[in-house]
Chains A and B, each alone.
Chain A
Amino acid sequence: MRQRLAILRALFAVALLSFAATARAQDGIAACVEAASEVEACLGHAYNACLGTLPPPEDDDPMFTWKENDRFCWAAETAQWDALLNRTYGDLISGIGTTFPDAPEQLRRAQRAWIVFRDAECAWPSAFLRQNDLHNVEIACTAELTAERVARLVHMGAFIP
């Protein structure tokens, strides 16, 4: 019984620490963007924070572990930019029509075109680099383009009264 309690306590502590780390990491990009003068200066912010929390490679294949860590942290970075993009886009599209009635539909079209572009752009360098067995370039590219898109929407919003 005591042993079971100790295990439960340890699990709870791990969950709590993990939750706190995730919350800190999730604040990362949004807080950085709010403080930075250039949105894209925050690219890599969550990735670097994430890498710092992961244990260094210890197994027989450190390159494999490094790639796994790299992929995991780029996924964390991309998820944060994606959340910020959704929020920025949502705010812009709900406000832009008041002053410019045609703009919401044009913005929707531009956003759809951007998604097609992002997917095509990030697929093709990946095809090249796959020859060198560097699989994570596609997800890093997605993070970079999403950051660039956030910057453009923020810039667009700044000129709308």
Chain B
Amino acid sequence: MIRALIAALTVLSVSGTGADAASEVLLEADTVITCVDEEPDIQTCVPAPLCDPSWAFFHRQACAEAAAAAVNATLIHFRARLLPLLDQLDAALDGGFAAAEATAHDAWLTYRDANCNVDRSTSLDTIGADEARDTCYVQHGIRRLAVIRGDIDRFAFKLAAD
């Protein structure tokens, strides 16, 4: 069900220059999820470089928006894997892990939004403001994904060991 929701949220197609069919880019959460699952270096899963700086403004903006949506959906997917592990740890160790993680994640969202607002307002051209904000979302999201993936591995190992 989660995957269906993600697919519904993020099947976004972004055109390139229009003149070159090869520059057609499909940014789907599924692609990012697979990459985050398989690649040791999560930075290689950043979809933002796909937004070619030489593209026309409209295409760049749409691409950045799609990339941010794909990363956000990937975050939701990986957090959905993490939370049951935390519930199990809470049951086993009485640690308050799920509550602590929720507090930290909410604080991260507030920080990300506040920080990306700065990027938006310091964009040198008004028309690039949303692109700057969405690119910032992608950068923050990829870092967060690295943390969540590490937590999933660590907590799964801990549960298996106990």
Give residues in A with beta carbon < 8 Å to B: 96, 99-100, 102-103, 106-107, 109-110, 112-114, 116-117, 119-121, 123-125, 127-128, 131, 148, 152, 156, 159-161
Contact = CB atoms under 8 A, between A and B. Distances in A.
Interface in B116-138: 117-119, 121-122, 124
Contacts of A102: 121
Interface of B: 89, 93, 95-97, 100-101, 103-104, 106-108, 110-111, 113-115, 117-119, 121-122, 124, 143, 151, 154-155, 158
Given A117-B108, A127-B95, A131-B93, A100 B121 contact: yes
A123 B100 CA distance: 8
Contacts of A116: 107, 110-111
Contacts of A99: 122
Nearest to A131: B93
6 A-B pairs with the lowest CB-CB distances in the bound complex, closest first: A124-B100, A110-B114, A117-B107, A117-B111, A113-B111, A120-B104
A96 B103 CA distance: 31
- Main secondary structure on A side of the interface with B: helix
B122 A152 contact: no
A127 B114 contact: no
Nearest to A101: B121
A58 B47 CA distance: 51
- Main secondary structure on B side of the interface with A: helix
Contacts of B107: 113, 116-117, 119-121
B114 A96 contact: no
A106 B103 contact: no
Contacts of B108: 117, 121
Contacts of A100: 121-122
A110 B115 contact: yes
Nearest to B93: A131
A125 B155 CA distance: 10
Nearest to A96: B122
Nearest to B89: A128
